[in-house]
Structure formats: C-alpha cells, structure tokens
Structure 1
C-alpha cells in the first residue's frame, strides 16, 4: 500500500491569498455568525456553569487588495477562550486581542457576540416549591483603536394589570353592590362577606397580560457581567415576574401582587429605569417595556435610556 500520501505533508492551495484587483475594496466586517459553542458563565451561586451558546465573531478588512480573512483562526480562538475561561469583560478583551493579533496587517477592529439562555432556579410565592426560569442573554464586546467596550442584554418577562381597567372594574362592582343592597337598608356583615364571595361580588375584572422588558446595558470599567443580579433587580422593581411552580396558594399570591402593582407600560419602564440608574455598575442603558395587550391586538410599548452624552440613542 502506498503510504506517501499519509506521511508526506502536501502543499495545499489557498485561494484566499490570490489577489483580484477587479474586486478590491475595504470591508466593514467579515466573519461568522450562529457558531455553536459551549461557554462558561457564572451562575447564581457564583460558580461557573457550561451553557450552549450561539456566537458571532467578526473583524474588519481594511486592506482593499486582500481577498479575505482567516476565518479558521477566529473559530480556533473562540474555541480556546470560551471553553476554558468564564465569560467576563477581561476574557473577551483577550479574545478580541487574539483576533487582531492573528490578523495583523488585515484588521484593526474586532467584535464578538454571545447569545444563550441563563437558567435560574426560582422559589414559588407561597407553597415552598421551586422551578427553573430561562432568561435570554446577549453579551457583546468590541475592540478598536478607541479602546474596548462590553455590553450586556437580557429579557425579563412579567405580568401587568391595567390601572384604567382596574378602575373601570371597581366602578362596575360598586354599581352592582348598589343594586344588590338597597340604599338606607341596614347592612349585615355576614351577608356582605357572602356577597363578596359570589360572581356578583366581582362582576368585572381588569385585564392583564404577559409582558416583557428587553434591556441593554454598558458596564462601567472594572465590573464583570452581573447577569443574575441584574435580573433580580429588574424583577424586584416590577414585583410581578412570571412564575414557575404554581399551586393554588401561589396563584393567589400572584393575584395579590398584580393587584398591588397595577401598571401601564410607562410605569414599568420608569420603575426599571430608576433601578438601573441607581446601579453603579451600569454606565449606560436602554430598555423597551412591551405589554402584549389582551384588550386589543397591538402592543403598548415604552422606551427609556439613561441619557448620557454620546450614549445609547433614546430608542432603537
């Protein structure tokens, strides 16, 4: 059997090095998207956990005569860094530095985006049970001559009960009470309590709906990605995050939380903006609160941003 093919390193063609003057031109970004990779992320307990992620990796191509970049080098750097280091701004800076060092003379800008679902175990409101919640997370970073920057994006789902609908429902309940209990007649406490437990006692209910806030934050220097802490702060500001394990006592507690936290999308956006503005780790933020209305087929939406000079635009 001829083993020369196995034992001899062959020269292989590399058409990427061939010049095509008729196609010359600089390119803003070249790279790969939707790369499937495991990444290490700090969990709620601070320990690193491995999650499945979708990654995008790009560099620019500022040499117009160069036909292409070295995409395999980007992939190998991603595999080496993301599988061995917990995802932090410092780790991403090292990764992007390797992107540029491996493309010296070709590129002077690099960026990376990592998308994954962050799992957090959440306790039930009253029953003592617990369950898992999955939060979509996106981490992005870029490096160029102006420096390094990293940002964190995530989505949190919650329930919103309309204040206007609640007021209209209360009015109808008052009117039903006036019809069922004659003006001037003596009220019997037990009769009123019994009435409140009948359909007549809650003749109308306010509309509520699943809602979500999507936000993006730029971190101040020196801080790691506060994924779980940021989710906790948003949910605490809203008071009505969606639940996992739900028994009847949990559902009742959830109804109480909704009744005590009536909110328009404007209210939700302001609550979240206030808590983000007070967090020293966050240099800038932009958020979108969307209420997927049950009253009509369109959504009610509010945007908010920190408003720092040169920061995020007021809306997307």
Structure 2
C-alpha cells in the first residue's frame, strides 16, 4: 500500500524572495504545444497546431515567483477544444492575470501557427494545399488588451529590368533573323514558337510579404480574407497543383505584373490602407534573388483612417 498522506504539499511561491525586491516585467513559458482552430467568414473551421508563449508580470516585489502551472492549464482550457474568437481570447487574458491572485497586472500571449489552406489553380479545376505562417500576439495591461497579427504570404516576382533586357535581346534576334526578308506572319509565328526565339529569360524569384496588423477592438480576423487580399493585390500567388494551362497563365501573370520590391510594397500599402479591421499596418517584402546571392527587401507602414 502507498504510504502517501493527505498532508498539504509545500508551495514556495508564497515565500519571500531572497534577492532584491524588484518588479519583473514578464515571466512564464515559451513553446507550449496547443491545438488551434480558426474560422473563416464562410464558417469553415481550419485546424492547426500552435506554439504558445505566455507570460505575466510579477508586480509583488516580495513574492518569490508566479503560479506558472495555472498559465498552462488556462491555455488548455480556453484554446484546445474551441474555435478561436475575440470574446474567448479576452476571457483568457483576464484569467491569466487573475490566476496570479494579485501578483500580476499584465499578461502577454503569443500564438505561432501555420494555416494550411486549399488553393485553386489559376485556370483548371485543380487544387492543392498551401501553407501560411502566422502569429497572433495579445498584450493585456490593467484590463486593456492590444492584439497584433503577423502573417507571411508567398508570391512570385519577375524583375522589370531583366524583362526589359530580355525583350531587347529578342528584338535584336528578330531583326537579325528577318532583316531584308519578306515578312510572313506564319513564318514569324513559327519562329517565335521555336527554341530559336528563346533568346533570354527574365529572372523571377520566390518572394514573401510579411504583413503586421494592429487589430481594431481585439477582433480575431478572417485570416483567409487577408491572404486573399494580399494575393489578389500582388496577382502572382505561388501555385500548388497545376496543369499546363495553369503554368502558362502563371507565366503570363508574371509578365503582366513585373515588380521590384518597391512596386510590391506600394501595392500592398494601397490595399491595406483601407483594411477596416485594423488601425495600423506594416509590410516587409522579400524577393529572394535568383540573379544575386543576396535578397532584395523593402518595408512600408501606415495608419488606417477608415474608421
């Protein structure tokens, strides 16, 4: 038989600190695994897995430490079996502070997760899955909570300078091929479709738009809506499953939407300036160069004045 008795177990958090009496800004845990469920505007529930970082302040100068296990248990209770919502998160932030029984006045929660979404091809009825890295950070201080969203959206970008040089090379090859020859449209078309006309190719690169939004009224946004807004603005989203007609359309879109990093951030600036669910935005775009061993980047930010 067990010799365990029901006597109270010690809790040294009630003991006084042996060090200097200093307030601690944040203490807690990082990298907590938690299932996460978000919902789009159509009511579809998207399952994901998050890594949660959670901290509270330790304002009692004489307390040895916080009740850390209470933070962990509250995350499980409020997040593991529920769809992410603003009311739910507000209740969680209040509970994180109150769980410390007067030791804390502020709390911070960061959820880092990946959304895996089915995305259609450009022309055919083919579809495949694309992933988007995201993070939702909430900071509560004396009952007031601020919420910030970060999401990374991949896309393709083709260099305008490279495209111009490629066109010039083709024009020179065309002139050399047909100068002083009668112009026959069928012959020209046949030449343009041949390998002989593959004189130069504009260089393109996989690119990323890293978007940060300060959300209004701590609203949990429609993540798919933000992704659609960015991808439609840039017009060259990365593809998943494709057929030849989709690949050709992708090439056409890149040609029609030649972009330096400056072009990309300005497009996103104009699109996000009227995003009504946020008060402020910041965008960093990154073009992972295929010409150079380094990358091109640009950043832009602004207030949203549509409220």
**Does the TM-score normalized on the shorter chain lie above 0.5?**
yes
Cα 1:58–1:118 shift into 2, 3 Å: same
Q: Tell me the TM-score normalized by structure 1.
A: 0.92
Task: Specify the alignment match of 1:160 in structure 2.
Answer: 157
> 1:122 Cα deviation (Å)?
0.9
Whether the 8 Å CA contact 1:160–1:211 is kept in 2: the answer is yes
Alignment of structure 1 residues 1-316 onto 2, 5 Å: 2-3=1-2, 5=4, 8-43=5-40, 45-145=42-142, 147-183=144-180, 185-221=181-217, 223-307=219-303
> 1:307 Cα deviation (Å)?
4.3
User: Which deviates the most, 223-232 or 155-164?
Assistant: 223-232
> For the residues of structure 1 that align with 2:103 and 2:70, how far apart are their CA atoms?
13
Whether the 8 Å CA contact 1:291–1:301 is kept in 2: the answer is yes
Extract unaligned runs of 5+ from structure 2: none
Q: Tell me the TM-score normalized by structure 2.
A: 0.94
User: Which deviates the most, 67-76 or 273-282?
Assistant: 273-282
User: Which deviates the most, 16-25 or 249-258?
Assistant: 16-25
1:208-258 Cα offsets, whole Å, 9 max, x none, are: 010001111011227431201000000000110100101211111110111
How many residues matched? 305
RMSD: 1.7
> For the residues of structure 1 that align with 2:265 and 2:229, how far apart are their CA atoms?
13
> For the residues of structure 2 that align with 1:240 and 1:96, how far apart are their CA atoms?
39
Extract unaligned runs of 5+ from structure 1: 310-316
